[in-house]
């Protein structure tokens, strides 16, 4: 059976986003700005990819206010974490690694 | 942490798997490796794995950097502050001068301020358990030292201790607090062996501190106490360099 890599994750930007968010875990949230700085992406680009991941149920976005300024926090969902782990497993299998 | 983009002639497959070539495509640089642009579907699975590994290394190095800053700060504070006391006690028969104790206090205060700034910076833009743990741990240091120093002051007044014994008491309590907090800090996240060993070294040093009075005690605190902080910083730095240099480009 052919190994299929999750098309939602298998894009450079979304793979990088999922790597960062999965690393910090489902109990942690990163602000949009912090994530943008860490990945060196533009706000527009990050926003587009986060929306796609959110539509797939892989990330959740929380909008709040801090010092009267709107702030968005992002975190990976359990479903997203599981999808990312499966993606990595499939990837390694595809490459013939354990 | 910046991902540099460079435009170049690039060959990739589109979503239907057809080979396409685009002169407008970009590459993303992560840890010195280049990967297809942000919006590209990844054609080479090895690139995908390389990208994941590169991001993980970047994150590990980022998380380690705040610990390294704290170790350097406290290493320098301990070395300088206790050397000031040691040199002063060598020059004055009755123990360190008032000026030496003032410099010592100011240096400790500077260390606390730098630690707070580092702590706030490291959790900026984050919410969740790690922020709670970091804040509580930071406060534990502050409260433990305030409590410890109050205990020492109370004991000094009640037991009418000599200057030499006062210095021993303060040194012992400081080493005990640092040792215990280091060991508990080592299990805050993934087990941090260097931090645990640093705490263990402090506790071992604490066992000998009652027998090292005056100048020898201050020198020991400067060299072994301050030195252990700087050694931890060096270990973290080495680890970070390792994280940054082990590329697995495929």
Find out whether B21 and B9 touch, Cβ atoms under 8 Å: yes
- Pairwise CB contact (< 8 Å): A15 & B62: no
- Pairwise CB contact (< 8 Å): A38 & B1: yes
What residue in B sits closest to A8 (Cα-Cα)?
B41
Q: What percent helix, strand, coil does chain A show, rounded to 5?
A: 50, 20, 25
Find out whether A22 and A84 touch, Cβ atoms under 8 Å: yes
Closest C-alpha among B196, B178, B175, B179 to residue B187: B196
Find out whether A91 and B45 touch, Cβ atoms under 8 Å: yes
Model pLDDT for residues A24-44, shown as the tens digit of each residue: 899 899 999 999 999 999 999
Model pLDDT for residues B91-139, shown as the tens digit of each residue: 887 778 889 989 988 998 888 888 888 878 878 888 888 888 888 888 8
Whether ipTM tops 0.85, in short, is yes
Q: Is the pLDDT of residue B187 over 90?
A: no
B85-94: average pLDDT: 87
Q: Which pLDDT score is estimated for B58?
A: 87
Mean pLDDT, chain A, integer: 91
Tokens at B121, concatenated? 């910076």
- B42 at the A interface (CB within 8 A)? yes
- A73 at the B interface (CB within 8 A)? yes
- A2 at the B interface (CB within 8 A)? no
Q: Which pLDDT score is estimated for B191?
A: 83
Closest C-alpha among A37, A82, A28 to residue A16: A37
**Residues of B with CB below 8 A from A27's CB?**
128-129
**Residues of A with CB below 8 A from B44's CB?**
none
**Where do the structural domains in chain B lie, given as residue ranges?**
71-237
Model pLDDT for residues B36-83, shown as the tens digit of each residue: 555 667 878 888 999 999 999 888 888 777 778 888 998 999 999 999
Shortest distance, CA A30 to any CA of chain B (angstroms): 5
Q: Which pLDDT score is estimated for B188?
A: 82
Rounded-to-integer distance, Cα B79 and Cα B246, Å: 33
DSSP state of B224: I
Shortest distance, CA B190 to any CA of chain A (angstroms): 12
**Residues of A with CB below 8 A from B250's CB?**
95
Q: Which pLDDT score is estimated for B236?
A: 80
Tokens at B66, concatenated? 């705040």
- A95 at the B interface (CB within 8 A)? yes
- A36 at the B interface (CB within 8 A)? no
Is A42 strand, coil or helix? coil
Size of interface A-B (CB pairs under 8 A): 97
Cα distances (Å, whole numbers) of residue A31 to B123, B150, B181, B189: 11, 40, 29, 21
B interface mutation test: which of A2, A16, A51 has the most B CBs within 10 A?
Answer: A16
- Pairwise CB contact (< 8 Å): B42 & A37: no
- Pairwise CB contact (< 8 Å): A19 & B56: yes
What residue in A sits closest to B14 (Cα-Cα)?
A11
Domains and CATH numbers, chain A: 28-94 (1.10.10.10)
- Pairwise CB contact (< 8 Å): A30 & B125: yes
Q: Which pLDDT score is estimated for A59?
A: 96
- Pairwise CB contact (< 8 Å): A7 & B39: no
């Amino acid at each position: 059976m052919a190994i299929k890599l999750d098309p939602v994750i298998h894009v450079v930007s979304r793979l990088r986003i999922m790597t960062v968010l999965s690393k910090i875990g489902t109990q942690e949230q990163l602000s949009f700005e912090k994530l943008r700085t860490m990945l060196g992406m533009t706000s527009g680009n990050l926003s587009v990819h986060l929306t796609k991941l959110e539509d797939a149920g892989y990330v959740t976005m929380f909008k709040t206010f801090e010092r009267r300024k709107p702030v968005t926090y992002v975190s990976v969902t359990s479903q997203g974490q599981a999808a990312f782990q499966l993606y990595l497993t499939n990837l390694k299998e595809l490459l013939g690694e354990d | 942490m910046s991902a540099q983009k460079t435009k170049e002639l690039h060959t990739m497959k589109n979503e239907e798997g057809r080979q396409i070539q685009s002169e407008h495509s970009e590459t993303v640089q992560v840890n010195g490796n280049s990967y297809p642009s942000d919006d590209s579907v990844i054609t080479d699975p090895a690139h995908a794995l390389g990208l994941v590994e590169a991001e993980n290394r970047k994150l590990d190095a980022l998380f380690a950097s705040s610990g390294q800053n704290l170790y350097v700060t406290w290493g320098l504070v301990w070395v300088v502050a206790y050397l000031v006391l040691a040199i002063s006690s060598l020059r004055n028969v009755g123990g360190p001068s008032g000026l030496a104790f003032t410099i010592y206090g100011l240096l400790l205060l500077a260390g606390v301020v730098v630690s707070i700034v580092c702590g706030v910076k490291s959790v900026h833009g984050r919410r969740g358990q790690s922020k709670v743990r970091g804040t509580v741990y930071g406060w534990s240091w502050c409260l433990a030292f305030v409590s410890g120093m109050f205990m020492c002051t109370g004991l000094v007044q009640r037991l009418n201790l000599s200057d030499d014994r006062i210095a021993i008491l303060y040194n012992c309590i400081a080493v005990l607090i640092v040792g215990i907090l280091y060991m508990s800090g080592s299990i805050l996240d993934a087990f941090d062996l260097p931090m645990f060993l640093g705490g263990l070294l402090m506790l071992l040093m604490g066992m000998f501190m009652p027998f090292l009075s005056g100048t020898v005690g201050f020198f020991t605190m400067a060299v072994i106490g301050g030195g252990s902080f700087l050694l931890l910083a060096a270990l973290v730095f080495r680890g970070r360099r390792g994280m940054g240099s082990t590329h697995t480009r495929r």
